[in-house]
Structure 1
Amino acid sequence: MEFVIGGLAGAGATIFTNPMDVVKTRFQLQGELRARNEHTARYRGIFHALYVIARNDGMLALQKGLAPAMLLGFTMNSVRLGMYHVAEVQGWTKSKDGDININKTIFWSSASGVMSGLAANPASVVKTRIQAAAHPSIAVGRQHRYDGMMDAFITIYKTEGVKGFFAGVNATCARLAVGSAAQLTTFSTAKEVLQSYGICQQSPFGLAFFASALSGVMVALAICPFDVTAVRLYNQGPASKGELLYNGVFDCLKKIYTTEGVHGLYKGIGPLYLRIAPHTTLSLVIWDMLNNLFDKNKKS
């Protein structure tokens, strides 16, 4: 049940945050392997990107890739939050005194992040490619055309094999290990600190809300370079579409830094934060409330 609760929390939050994920993906592919002065920005800011996408591709384009995004949210969070909750319940994240143990919390949150990355990577590849596809006037990065989620899965399998579904998996696992450790460690620690000061002791919802809002800041800062790398690797496609731009995570990081500088590694940090913060808050609040409800029902 813990895994189902985690999955529902992630899928539910995705509905609200997917438009910002579309914007983030476009920003991270814009000016790929070019210096800032060598390309014309099709998207000049978050609100400009929302406007341009809606004007050229229609309002529904802001929810591009929603189906694989929800599949991704369910799969990733069912494994990540479910596995972490089991570790919490079993006391594997606490010291002998029953307090939060930072090292143990980081280990279990990172381990759950890596496992969720492996499980959800196929959905991540499909989501990214569908979100990147745009009208030629605003297209950035390589363009892949699919007639929906199932067509994308079938086409990728036929043209790239099983390997195609695991493009960028190393970057994904690194991103999720770092991001999950930052998110769940700060979430658990923030809850404990808030409770120690008597804040929101009578409001589980308020406690989960404030703790998750704090953790969202750390997550965005920690994962952005890995997030940019993962998106680039997801979207480059097979070699048959042209020379591979990147030969793995480190090659991708090196090329981005060499050609685009530190700015390139933090492309899309704005929409990433605006996606991560509410998604973190919504998913962790939903997760915490469902767990509380499930625990109460078990006791009764």
Structure 2
Amino acid sequence: MGAAVGSPFYMVKTQLQARANASIAVGTQHPHDSMFKAFTFVVREHGVIGLWRGTTAAVSRVMFFQPNSFLNSLIGSICGGVVVVACMTPFDVVSTRMYNQPVNKNGKGIMYKNLLDCFVKIFTSEGLWGFYKGWGPSFFRLVPHTVLSLVFWDQLRILHGKWNEDESI
């Protein structure tokens, strides 16, 4: 409900944030430079209904399942697992490179001086995607673990809450 009510503000915010200099502009550029001018323009050009253009997309991006549904914890844990893998994999790649590099007679790494040097060398020689080698196996190892852990935890929490309610009756 909040997304539907707030949709005109979200649309205007998006249009104002998308404004850019003509040389770098991407997508449609809207002529307004303030919230008030944006609302006035949209109503004048498209009517009041125009303020809710795109509401279905705004509502679907914040939609949740019924309270205590296992789907809440399932979807949340999948999203959390993806974020963890995306954030963790670059550090896994760097750790692997640091551990596997050859060392000199004093035990110092030959290829990388330190963590920052390793990051820079990977980025300059392999680009951003160089940090995501092994992303697939990491995803298929971590996401099921995250999903099972969080779904079971959430369901046990709900069961415990119901059990406590039953005892108090």
Shorter-chain TM range is 0.3 to 0.5
TM-score, normalising length: structure 2: 0.46
Higher helix share: 1
Q: Quick one: higher RCO (CA 8 Å, sep 6+), 1 or 2?
A: 1
Q: Please give the TM-score of this superposition, normalised by the length of structure 1.
A: 0.28
Bigger-Rg structure (1/2)? 2
